[in-house]
């Protein structure tokens, strides 16, 4: 556990089935999710080097972008032991795991071939594809595979938003540039789909643009082409199969038939050395 605590924060995912009715084909594909009850979310990235807030640190101007990206030089993943990680997940009783493939900072943790991409393989001290061996080990263990993917990429030069106070351009006025970004992120999703055939895709960051701007229908078709039974969270417009409240048990039960509480073990999404505010087992188990 000490190694894990130094590297990342595990996030607990609780899958819950409500009482609403739905189409039989959806119920069939959602059965494993409804039965799982517990998953582990590995929220890992270069922000663990300095122990700062993931991506938001530069977005909110707590640190400038250049200094944030310098963490790539210290990101070695030297203690990355995927066998231990997967054994830990399995022993916890979890039935699935989700890992960050790319957060809003745009650092891809796999060997992406997308143009101008920044990756742990090509740009970090680790010089490793961190996703491929992890997914292989997950599948070998019988656990379901979930991949987290950020729709926005604040570091990518063709993405319109850079920080809270700075935009690179107006996406509605410069459609050519915006389309370059759409091609970029969709090519990455195609890579993830074809290479790993995930059981679940966990989107984030949809709030920055409309579903039409993200081309959510096209993305949904892209993912379904490889795996018709892929499960998608609620952050891809109407295509979501389940709701994803975060950091607190909802006061009112979500309307969706299926939902998942995304719950950090302390108050942070990544490793932060001074965050010792860990939730008690009673807080976690009661959910």
* Number of neighbours of residue 140 by Cβ within 10 angstroms: 10
Average pLDDT, the chain: 88
232 vs 224: CA distance, rounded Å = 10
Residue spans of beta strands (DSSP E) within the chain? 9-17, 39-43, 96-102, 107-108, 118-119, 144-150, 200-204, 231-232, 258-264
268 vs 246: CA distance, rounded Å = 12
For the four alpha carbons of 63, 68, 71 and 77, in that order, the dihedral sign comes to: positive
pLDDT of residue 235: 81
CATH number of the domain located at residue range(s) 2-285 in this protein: 3.20.20.80
61 vs 57: CA distance, rounded Å = 6
User: Whose structure tokens read 């790319």?
Assistant: 102
CA dist 77 → 13, 81, 97, 163, 177 (Å):
24, 9, 19, 27, 34
Torsions phi, psi of 167, nearest 5? Answer: -115, 145
Domain boundaries, the chain: 2-285
| 72-122: pLDDT as tens digits | 999 999 999 999 999 999 998 999 999 999 999 999 999 999 999 999 999
Do 231 and 201 meet the contact criterion of CB atoms below 8 Å apart?
yes
**Nearest residue to 96 via CA among 247, 240, 260:** 260
| 208-264: pLDDT as tens digits | 999 999 999 999 999 999 999 999 998 887 788 877 867 767 667 777 788 788 887
* Token duo for residue 81: 């032991």
Could you tell me what percent of the chain has a pLDDT over 90?
67
């Amino acid at each position: 556990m000490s190694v894990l605590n130094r590297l990342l924060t595990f996030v607990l995912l609780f899958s819950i089935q409500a009482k609403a009715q739905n189409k039989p084909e959806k119920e069939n594909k959602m059965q494993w999710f409804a039965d799982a009850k517990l998953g582990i979310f590995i929220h890992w990235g270069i922000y663990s080097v300095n122990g700062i807030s993931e991506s938001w640190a530069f977005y909110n101007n707590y640190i400038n972008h250049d200094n944030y990206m310098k963490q790539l030089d210290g990101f070695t993943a030297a203690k990355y032991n995927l066998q231990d990680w997967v054994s830990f997940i399995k022993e916890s009783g979890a039935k699935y795991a989700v890992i960050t493939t790319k957060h809003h900072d745009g650092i891809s943790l796999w060997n992406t071939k997308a143009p101008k991409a920044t990756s742990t393989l090509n740009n970090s001290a680790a010089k490793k594809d961190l996703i491929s061996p992890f997914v292989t080990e997950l599948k070998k263990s019988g656990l379901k595979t979930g991949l987290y993917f950020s729709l926005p990429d604040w570091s990518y030069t063709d993405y319109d938003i850079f920080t809270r106070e700075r935009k690179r351009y107006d996406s509605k006025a410069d459609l050519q540039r915006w389309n370059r970004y759409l091609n970029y992120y969709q090519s990455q999703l195609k890579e993830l789909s074809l290479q790993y055939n995930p059981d679940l895709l966990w989107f984030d960051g949809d709030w920055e643009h409309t579903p039409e701007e993200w081309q959510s229908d096209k993305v949904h078709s892209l993912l379904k082409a490889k795996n018709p039974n892929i499960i998608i969270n609620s952050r891809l417009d109407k295509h979501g199969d389940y709701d994803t409240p975060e950091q607190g048990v909802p006061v009112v039960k979500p309307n969706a038939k299926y939902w998942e509480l995304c719950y950090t073990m302390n108050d942070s999404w990544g490793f932060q050395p001074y965050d010792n505010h860990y939730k008690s087992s009673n807080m976690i188990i009661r959910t």
